[in-house]
Amino acid sequence: MRGLIGQKLGMTQFWREDGRVIPVTVIQGGPCVITQIKTEERDGYSSVQLGYKDKKESRATKAAIGHFQKANTSPKYLVHEFRDMNVGDKKEGDALDVDLFTVGDLVTVSGTSKGRGFTGVMKRHNFSGGRASHGKSDQLRAGGSIGASSDPSRVFPGQKMAGRSGGKKSSVRNLEIVAVDVANHIVMVKGAVPGPNKGFVQLLDRG
């Protein structure tokens, strides 16, 4: 399994060799520093901790500074742990870049979806809305009935209703990598990924 932390730069178009145009998301992946390697014998599970983007020491806690010093690296702005990741002969303090991936790989991209604030049921849960004819002039976008009356005399937990939407971790699986630019730390994946531009994402290849 291979993983990398990156930052979404935006979307554009990509022309394939056969002349087809496909939508792609441009991601700046890495370089990420290996800040910790956990093993089954010492920690109870196997994982690799990666750090992305430098952070001023004045903005880091003493505990964090000491943690990064063990890996001979500066404090990092973002840290993420990848379970059961194989880094070969790499050790703590070494860097990982987009050369982990090759064109044609299928990756899972995870990020925090755009926050939409308070939204109604049609936008939040894709409700169809009420009919707009036969004397009905209001409640066109209302949710309708949310439960029975005398029995059970309550609304069940998890009922789909209006409320805050977005701003949660979201993942899109099996996105194809269509281009890799190692010199500029750029990787392009087919389709859209969660989050706004400049939002942080994680790329994961389980192959």
Output the domain CATH number for residue 6: 2.40.30.10
Distance CA 73, CA 52 (A): 11
Same domain for 177 and 193?
A: yes
What pLDDT is stored for residue 192 in this prediction?
95
- 143: how many CB neighbours lie within 10 A of its CB? 18
User: Which residue stretches of the chain have pLDDT < 50?
Assistant: none
Same domain for 135 and 41?
A: no
**114-141 as b/e: b if 16+ CB within 10 A:** eeeeeebbbebeebeeeeeeeeeeeeee
Surface-to-core class of residue 75, CB atoms within 10 Å of its CB (0-12 exposed, 13-18 middle, 19+ buried): buried
Same domain for 187 and 151?
A: no
Largest CA distance in the chain: 72
Number of domains in the chain: 2
Provide the β-strand partners of residue 30: none
pLDDT digits (tens, 9 = 90+) for 58-117: 999 999 999 999 989 999 999 999 998 888 888 888 999 998 999 999 999 999 999 999
What pLDDT is stored for residue 207 in this prediction?
62
Residue 175, both tokens: 């996105």
Domain region containing 134 = 120-165
Same domain for 33 and 109?
A: yes
Same domain for 43 and 127?
A: no
Same domain for 104 and 161?
A: no
- pTM of this structure: 0.83
Same domain for 86 and 96?
A: yes
Same domain for 63 and 149?
A: no
Helix (H, G, I), strand (E, B) or coil at 113: coil
Same domain for 148 and 189?
A: no
Same domain for 199 and 186?
A: yes
Same domain for 106 and 139?
A: no
Q: How, if at all, do strands 32-38 and 21-29 pair? A: unpaired
Same domain for 188 and 86?
A: yes
